A = this chain, B = another copy of it.
Amino acid sequence: MNIRDLNYILAVSETGNFSKAADICYVSQPTLSGQIKKLESELGVSIFERTNRKVEITAVGEEILAHARQIISEAETIKSLARNYQDPLAGPLRIGAIPTVSPYVMPLILEPIKRDYPQMRLVLTEERTEQLISRLKHHEIDAALLATETFDSEFESTPLFKEPFWVAYPADHRFYEMESVNTAELMNESLLLLAKGHCLADQARSICHMAGNNPENEMADLRASSLETLIQLVGAGYGVTLLPALAMGGSWTSGSGVIAQPLDDANAYRQISLVYRKSFPRPQALTALADTILNRIPNTVEPLANPS
In the complex the two chains form, what is the Cα distance from A67 to B76 in whole Å?
Answer: 10
Whether B79 contacts A49 by the Cβ 8 Å rule is: no
In the complex, residue of chain B having the shortest beta-carbon distance to the beta carbon of A68: B78
Which residues on the B side are within 8 Å of A308 (C-beta)? Answer: none
| Chain A interface category by residue count | 35 or more
In the complex the two chains form, what is the Cα distance from A249 to B150 in whole Å?
Answer: 97
Question: Does A220 make an interface contact (CB < 8 A)?
Answer: no
Question: Does A210 make an interface contact (CB < 8 A)?
Answer: no
Question: Does A59 make an interface contact (CB < 8 A)?
Answer: yes
Question: Does A60 make an interface contact (CB < 8 A)?
Answer: yes
Which residues on the B side are within 8 Å of A64 (C-beta)? Answer: 78, 81-82
Which residues on the B side are within 8 Å of A2 (C-beta)? Answer: 2-3
Residues in A6-59 with C-beta less than 8 Å from chain B:
43-46, 49-51, 56, 58-59
**Can you give 12 contacting A-B residue pairs, CB < 8 Å?**
A1-B78, A44-B82, A44-B86, A45-B281, A49-B280, A58-B281, A59-B85, A59-B91, A64-B82, A67-B78, A70-B74, A74-B74
Known contacts A49-B277, A49-B281, A67-B75; 4 further A-B pairs (Cβ under 8 A): A43-B86, A56-B279, A71-B75, A74-B74
